[in-house]
Amino acid sequence: MAKLAPTSIKYVIKARISAKGVIEKPDVIGAVFGQTEGLLGTDLNLRELQESGKIGRIEVKISSTDGNTEGEVIIPSALDASETALIAATLETIERVGPCAAKIMLEKVEDVRSEKRKYVIDKAKEILQTMMTEGESSVSDVTEEIKESVRTSEITSYKGSPAGPEMEESEEIIVVEGRADILNLLRYGIRNTVAVEGTSVPPAVADLTKEKTTTVFVDGDRGGQLIIKELLQTAQVDFIATAPPGKEVEELSKKEVFTALRNRVEAKQYKSPPREQRREHQRGFDRPDRGDRMERPKHRPLQLSPEEREFFRTTLEDLVGTRAACVFGEHNELLGKVPVSELHSTLKTVENPHTIIFDGRVDFRLNALARKRGVKFLVGMEKEEFSSPIAIVTRADLQ
């Protein structure tokens, strides 16, 4: 049986065990192996993982009093976060140990690397302070190492998937391929990311896209195209951005990252290009000077009843210069009037919004949120050029 080297341990699973009866360590270990076998398929079979050195020796600390047994189960893991989480979850399916009814409750999964990161950061600060005290003029390399370590420690997990530290509270998310992509975007201040880690999209990430405005940002290669195809089938994607052809998101410069995100295209306008045209297509996302390389937005004829036109016109004129927004229900009842700066947060909470009229510009972000909330009309002073199932009306349309 392979032994897990201490340096390869990433996580430690800790769980409490209680049994109604007297049991011994071999009974517990046997139950862990026996009752979890086959639950997660052959790839995550505990015996095979231990033999390959991906799971370490299972430690059991128990004691018996008054005919009952209590104790702790510890399992070191060199697997990644999502696989370790699955192994940890299987422990709670164990119902018997030896001849006794038993229960195992997961306490926590420790990231043993966090203490190492803390030591590295503290040591680097100490070194930097010494260098500055001694008059060392060039400390850029050391400070970059400190920043890199801090960024790495900021990466969190969302239901098993790596994520940026502000992903869950953000209204918009950027879905990338892997952890290294998240780290690179953190360098440039982009903190609302989540990774799919492969072409099979985790269900939790797919569900998340139904709640937030979602941009997919992938590598400029065939793998990136496959992930886009998978996400378009299983998730609710609003925008798509790609790295330049042949480049990966994790290696892009700040300028390349923000250029790619600025040139994102609406998901429904996206078409996977023929192989021989892929390079030009990926360079020309959503740029009006690229001719027919991408289908341009098609504008639907605006059809308003005389009553709708008059209501929109008079309400919009009353709002000119106020920087305010009005949200109306289906029968033109006012549901709320707020500053334009609070429109996004208000729209997420108001019930059954039908029409929004505001002193501002209708953009991609507002359109995406309004579509998810079931809004039928967006009426503003002006608008960006994009197609939408929502009827978008500008002040010029009402003259």
**Torsion angles phi and psi, residue 383, rounded to 5:** -150, 155
Do 136 and 163 lie in one domain? The reply is no
Of the candidates 268, 283, 295, the one whose C-alpha atom is nearest the C-alpha of residue 220 is: 283
User: Do 77 and 13 share a domain, yes or no?
Assistant: yes
DSSP H or E stretch at residue 103: strand 100-111
Domain boundary pick from 241, 269, 293: 293
- What pTM did the predictor assign? 0.38
Q: pLDDT for 92-139, tens place per residue?
A: 999 898 888 999 999 999 888 777 778 888 888 888 777 766 554 455
220 and 240 together in one domain? yes
Q: Which CATH number is 73's domain given?
A: 3.30.70.60
* pLDDT tens readout for residues 170-201: 899 999 998 889 989 988 889 999 999 876 78
For the segment 51-101, what is each residue's pLDDT rounded down to a tens digit?
Answer: 888 888 899 999 999 889 999 999 999 888 888 899 899 999 998 988 889
Q: Last residue of some domain: 124, 154, 184?
A: 154
In this structure, the answer to whether residues 139 and 215 fall within a common structural domain is no
- Domain hosting 193: range is 155-293
Q: Do residues 136 and 90 share a domain?
A: no
Burial of residue 197 (number of CB atoms within 10 Å: 0-12, 13-18, 19+): buried
Per the domain annotation, does 12 fall within a domain?
Answer: yes
Q: How many domains are there within the chain?
A: 4
**CA–CA separation, 82 vs 88, rounded Å?**
10
Residues 190 and 238 in one domain: yes
The answer to whether residue 47 is domain-embedded is yes
Which tens digit of pLDDT belongs to each residue from 224-261? 888 898 899 999 999 999 999 989 999 999 999 999 99
